[in-house]
Amino acid sequence: MTIIAAADGSALGNPGPAGWGWYVDDTCWAAGGWPHGTNNMGELTAVLDLLQQTAHLPDDLLVYCDSTYVINSITKWMPGWKRRGWKKGDGKPVLNVEIMKALDEAMAGRRVRFVWVKGHAGHELNEHADRLATTAAACWKEGTPPDPGPGFAGARVRHPDARAGQVLDEPDLFSEL
């Protein structure tokens, strides 16, 4: 079986209040964010949360994403960054390196396919994920955490947006935020 989802991120001001969200259907989705972050952090964390929440399942994963940065980071650039000690080709450090390292770990042994979709173009799953991310960022702008959503039962996550009943394995993963 294949789990089909969309993941998206948002930042108001970029940087500013930031949110992320992924969506499978009305009964299976998640959202989170921070009082201060970037759009890329949101985009990456949406995929990271989805990977971590589905890690205990045997299913393949198909992820619709409107961020070529996220797709290329995971599918093209990451092997080179790792070989160079998490440095880019120009020798500069990889941005969002802690999230990238967590994504690298979460992808290990997984069967995941990413498909780019144009944002704000009517793709049903992407529109839902975008609304979740934008709403989460707006909540943080108002100073309140967003509704985290139901997620996947039995999930373990390793980022600061752990939901009730889930285990937060590495609380310092995003300590630089």
Cα-Cα end-to-end distance for the chain = 36
Q: What are the helix (H) ranges across the chain?
A: 39-54, 68-72, 78-83, 97-107, 124-142
Catalytic residue among 85, 120, 172, 176: 120
Catalytic residue among 9, 19, 37, 42: 9
Which residues are CB-neighbours of 20 under 8 A, at least 6 positions away? 7, 8, 9, 10, 31, 32, 33, 41, 42, 43, 45, 46, 49, 132, 133, 136, 161
- Answer yes or no: 169 catalytic: no
Neighbours of 78 (CB within 10 A): 18
Catalytic residue among 37, 42, 49, 66: 66
- Answer yes or no: 25 catalytic: no
- Answer yes or no: 66 catalytic: yes
Report the distance separating Cα 156 and Cα 140, nearest Å. Answer: 23
Catalytic residue among 19, 37, 43, 128: 43
- Answer yes or no: 8 catalytic: yes
CB 161 within 8 Å of CB 49: yes
Catalytic residue among 33, 130, 159, 161: 130
- Answer yes or no: 26 catalytic: no
- Answer yes or no: 176 catalytic: no
Q: Which amino acids are annotated catalytic?
A: 8-9, 43, 66, 120, 130
